[in-house]
Amino acid sequence: MLTEQDPLLLRQDDSRGVVTITLNRPQAFNALSEAMLAALKSEFDALARDASVRVVVLAASGKAFCAGHDLKEMRAEPSLDYYRGLFARCAKVMMQIQQLPVPVIAKVQGVATAAGCQLVAACDLAVAVRAARFAVSGVNLGLFCSGPAVHLSRNVPRKQAFEMLVTGEFISADEARARGLINRVAEDAGALDAEVGSLVASILAKPRTAVAMGKELFYRQIEAGVEAAYIDAGHTMACNMMDEAALEGVQAFNEKRPPRW
C-alpha cells in the first residue's frame, strides 16, 4: 500500500478499470530518483498482469510534472557502471509504458524537462495545461539528452526534435501540441481533469481486446518497413476480426444498433 511518503501515489477505480499513478516528490520537482524508477517499474509490472485495468493515467503532484533524473543522486556516484545501470533502468521503465496492453495518458500540470519530457513522450497520449513547458535541457549542463532523444524523436519531427536537443530551450504547451509531443492543451487544472476524463471515457467505450491488439501493432509496425508493416497489420486485423467484440460490433453496425460489449 503506497502512502503520502512514497515516491508514487496510486489510485484505482475498480469499477471502470482506471488507474492513476502520481509522481510524488513535489519538493524535488518529481525528479526520477532510484526509488521512483524502482516504484514505477514495480507498478507497471503489476499493471501488465492485471486484466481488469483499462487505462493508466500518469500524473504528478506539485508545480512540476517531472524535472528529469535526480542530479544529486547522479553526482554522488560518478562511475561508468553506475550510470549505465541507471540509464538502463530508466529505459526499461519507458519501454514498460509502451509494452502495457492499455493506453497510458500523461497528465501534465507543470514543467517537464529532460527525462521528464522523455516520460511524456513515452506515454501513448498526453494532455497538458497551457502553462506547462517542455525541454530536453541536459545539454545546458553538458549532458546531451541521449535517452530522451529516443522517444522524443519518435513523437516530434526530426529537425524540431534535434533543435530541442541541441539548444535545451523550452517550448510551450501549444508548441508541444503543434509538434506532436502532446495531444491536447487545457486552460487550467479543472480543464485538465476534464480533457483527461474525456480521453479516458472515449477509450473505455471501446473493447479492451481491440485496443490492446491495436496498441501492440501500432508500435511494432512503426519500427518496420512499410511492406512488413502492412503484412503485420493485415494479420493483426484478421485476428482482431475473429474476436467476439469485433464480431458483435460489425453485427451491431449492420443491424443499426449500439454494440453490446
Q: Which of 127, 122, 133, 129 lies closest to 156, judged by CA?
A: 122
84: part of which helix (H) or strand (E)?
helix 80-99
Burial 171-201 (b: 16+ CB within 10 A, else e): bebebbbebebbbbbbeeeeebeebbeebbe
CA-to-CA separations, 63 to 27, 126, 233, in angstroms, rounded: 9, 17, 41
Residue 221's contacts (CB-CB under 8 Å, 6 or more residues apart) are 228, 229, 232, 233
Per-residue pLDDT of the chain (261 residues; tens, 9 = 90+): 445 578 999 999 888 999 999 999 999 999 999 999 999 999 999 999 999 999 999 999 999 999 999 999 988 888 899 999 999 999 999 999 999 999 999 999 999 999 999 999 999 999 999 999 999 999 999 999 999 999 999 999 999 999 999 999 999 999 999 999 999 999 999 999 999 999 999 999 999 999 999 999 999 999 998 898 889 889 898 888 888 888 888 898 889 999 988
| Domains of the chain, first to last | 8-204 (3.90.226.10), 208-254 (1.10.12.10)
User: What cell does 260 get?
Assistant: 453490446
The count of other CB atoms within 10 Å of the CB of residue 1 is 4
Q: What is the pTM of this model?
A: 0.92
Q: Which residues pair with 5 in a beta bridge?
A: none
Structural contact between residues 160 and 179, judged by C-beta atoms closer than 8 angstroms: yes
CA gap 217, 156 in Å, rounded: 20
154: part of which helix (H) or strand (E)?
none
Beta-strand relationship, 125-129 and 112-113? unpaired
CA gap 256, 138 in Å, rounded: 55
User: What cell does 191 get?
Assistant: 480543464
